[in-house]
Amino acid sequence: MEILMPEPQIYVERTLAIIKPDVIDKEEEIEDVILRSGFHIIQKRKLQLSPEQCSNFYAEQFGKVFFPNLTAYMSSGPIVAMILARNYAVSYWKELLGPSNSQRARITHPRSLRALYGTDELRNGLHGSLSISAAEREIRFIFPEAILEPVPTGQRARDYLNLYVKPTLLAGLTALCKEKPADPMIWLADWLIEHNPNKPKLQYQISQEE
């Protein structure tokens, strides 16, 4: 009987997450929830935005009644910004955040992050990109050095797997069989990192800025 295997696919999205000034003391708790929810923190930095920077970041909200209060709030203290990655990162992060109004979130989504850490519609604890295009723009704003390359899909993804992933993985498994280490999983992980044929130029980094 022929077993039909699904075609290899690559689904990786990135989104921007911000821990806002009034809940920055909950950073470790929030990060733990993020990691347990299947996200990878690609980059992270602590910084404080000026009112002008906040105005530019929230430019799409310009002219709305709450805009002055929003920029004043977001520039009132340090924030923690993170690039999060996983399958469907934008939609999953929005779901984890819950409604923008924390008071409403406590009624409709009581386990969401905004229900747990937010106060009201303005001070709702965390920010999330609304769309993939918004995520790209916001990531470039907060992390101007970040490399945002298009993720291959379809035939391009299959070509990438055949050209880079499969040969490297086969070589690693062959070396694993010869080496017979005590902890094969850790050994293989280290080997794959060392022999990665397409190492990214930008590695995981955390910068602290006061």
- Give the relative orientation of helices 166-179 and 184-194 as an angle to the nearest 10 degrees: 130
Question: From CA 126, how far away is CA 23, in angstroms rounded?
Answer: 8
Return the pLDDT at 200: 46
Query: Which residues contact residue 57 at a Cβ distance below 8 angstroms, ignoring those fewer than 6 apart?
Result: 49, 74, 138, 141, 142
Domain 14-142 has CATH 3.40.50.10490: no
Question: Is the CB of residue 43 less than 8 Å from the CB of residue 83?
Answer: yes
Which residues in the chain show pLDDT less than 70?
A: 1-11, 147-154, 156-157, 160, 197-210
How is residue 9 written in tokens?
């696919």
Domain boundaries, the chain: 14-142, 154-195
Return the pLDDT at 155: 72
Would you identify the CATH topology of the domain 154-195? cAMP-dependent Protein Kinase, Chain A (1.20.890)
User: How far, in whole angstroms, is CA 186 from its chain's centroid?
Assistant: 25
Question: Is the CB of residue 20 less than 8 Å from the CB of residue 68?
Answer: no
Provide the residue type at 20 as one letter.
K
DSSP codes, 4-22: PPPPP----EEEEEEE-GG
Which residues have a catalytic role annotated? 127
Return the pLDDT at 83: 95
